[in-house]
Amino acid sequence: MDASGSLPDATATLPDDLLGAVIGLAGQEAGPSTTLVCKRWHRLFWEEGSAWRRVRLDCDSLVFSPATRLASLAKLSLHGEVGTATAASLVQCPNLTELTLSGCAQHMLGMLHALPVLPRLQSLTVKPYIELSASRPSLAAVQRQLDRFPALLSWELSNMWFWNSGSGIKFGNVALGEINHRKSGPKGAQNVDLLLERYPGQPLALWALLDALLPDGSRLDRLSLYNFELSAADLQPCPALEQLSVLRLGNCTCSTCLPAALGPLLGKATGLTELDLSRPYMLAQQQLWRWLGAIPPSLAQLRGLRKLALHAQHLTELPEGSMWPGLEALDLSANDLGPGLPPALVSATALTSLLLHRNAKLALTEADVAGVLAGMPRLRVLDLRRTAGLSPEALDHLRSSLPLIELWL
């Protein structure tokens, strides 16, 4: 402490090159904030090359950034409206390979149109505020804007409402929560992830929607559907659905028996690694949704499945099957299992997470621990909240068998 009573500046003795390297470690979130510390830090931030390989800025800050630093930018995250001045600054970023745009109220097509052609751009992420205006672009128009970037390998668009596909098919109120498209190379395989949310509107055919959204020659890798009214025809096997690795159906209703509708699809989608058929607990209690009641035989035979969520599906037992040995995460919460663990779980030896909360009849005994849980050496999370619990003997056995387990009671 000096004579004035204040602490000395420990960084004052550091040479510029060393302090500049430290500032460069602040990352894209905190890096620009270091310019507010003092004039020296402000100068070093703008001079330090490592700080400018990846940075997060608002659009106004980009406009006032030195051209010498813009030329070294490789990864940039921009927040705010993309206007004429911002676009002019981006022209000075010839080495930009990754660009993220967020926090603006522009509609998707206007934002993409404002961007200059970036010759080395390989990854583009656009996350505007949710577009609620009547001006909804066609997917064909959006694709034309993306085609302007010659090196683009992957792109992700979020919070986009679209009116039609460009092929004459109208979908009403469908929100494109997220579309992630990536290629393994300029002529490599194309994989697509879709997150779609449906709002009240005219009926639609899921197969027609997927056909319009997927680029030619692409593979639908992950599909998440929310608030959709599905029919048995929607869930019939088709080329797009048969190649899925991840399928999530949230808040979806089905006009027919759900196991019967899902059975044919699961029999064909043998590459699934993650399946989520969870239902909201409160709505499930009101019986507003059809439930599984029993696991379809085709599901029990999915050997490649790693994650399975069957929350609130009125399950009372589990079938034997070849899917259990490969499972790593299993959610069986809010079902009707009990009083003991289902015998089929004996085969689930690779589990790391097992969620059983809200199975009110479930009361684990020492036999359950010795015969089932002790055979899961990788188990790290066990959720038994709002069950009948487990006996003191079972708890002692569990702690000794799996000392690293995180137990929720």
Instruction: Please give the pLDDT value at position 41.
Output: 77
In the block, which residue shows the tokens 């058929």? 277
Give the integer Cα–Cα distance in Å for 379 and 321: 20
Three-point CA angle 92, 95, 97, nearest 5° = 120
Three-point CA angle 398, 401, 405, nearest 5° = 65
Give the integer Cα–Cα distance in Å for 147 and 311: 41
User: What residue ranges of the chain are covered by domains with CATH 3.80.10.10?
Assistant: 316-409
Give tens-digit pLDDT for 253-277. 666 666 677 777 787 888 899 999 8
Q: Which residues pair with 307 in a beta bridge?
A: 274, 329
Check: CB of residue 51 under 8 Å from CB of residue 24: yes
Q: Average of pLDDT values for 130-138? A: 51
Give the integer Cα–Cα distance in Å for 77 and 122: 14
Lowest mean pLDDT among 70-74, 121-125, 325-329: 70-74
List all residues 6 or more positions away from 273 whose beta carbon is below 8 Å from its beta carbon.
245, 246, 304, 305, 306, 307
Give tens-digit pLDDT for 333-351. 999 998 999 999 999 999 9
List all residues 6 or more positions away from 381 whose beta carbon is below 8 Å from its beta carbon.
352, 353, 354, 355, 405, 406, 408
Give tens-digit pLDDT for 42-57. 777 766 555 556 666 6
Question: Chain-centre distance of CA 7, in angstroms?
Answer: 46
Check: CB of residue 353 under 8 Å from CB of residue 328: yes
Of 157 and 384, the structure prediction assigns the larger pLDDT to 384
Whether the predicted pLDDT of 162 surpasses 80: no
The structure's pTM equals 0.72
Whether the predicted pLDDT of 79 surpasses 50: yes
Give the integer Cα–Cα distance in Å for 268 and 298: 9
Give the integer Cα–Cα distance in Å for 409 and 394: 13
Q: Tell me the pairing of strands 123-127 and 381-383.
A: unpaired
How high is the mean pLDDT of the chain?
A: 77
CATH superfamily of 316-409: Ribonuclease Inhibitor (3.80.10.10)
Between the alpha carbon of residue 403 and those of residues 4, 97, 107, 350, the distances in Å are 55, 46, 53, 17
Which of 170, 173, 246 lies closest to 212, judged by CA? 170
Cis peptide before 339 (omega within 30 of 0): yes
Give the integer Cα–Cα distance in Å for 175 and 298: 31
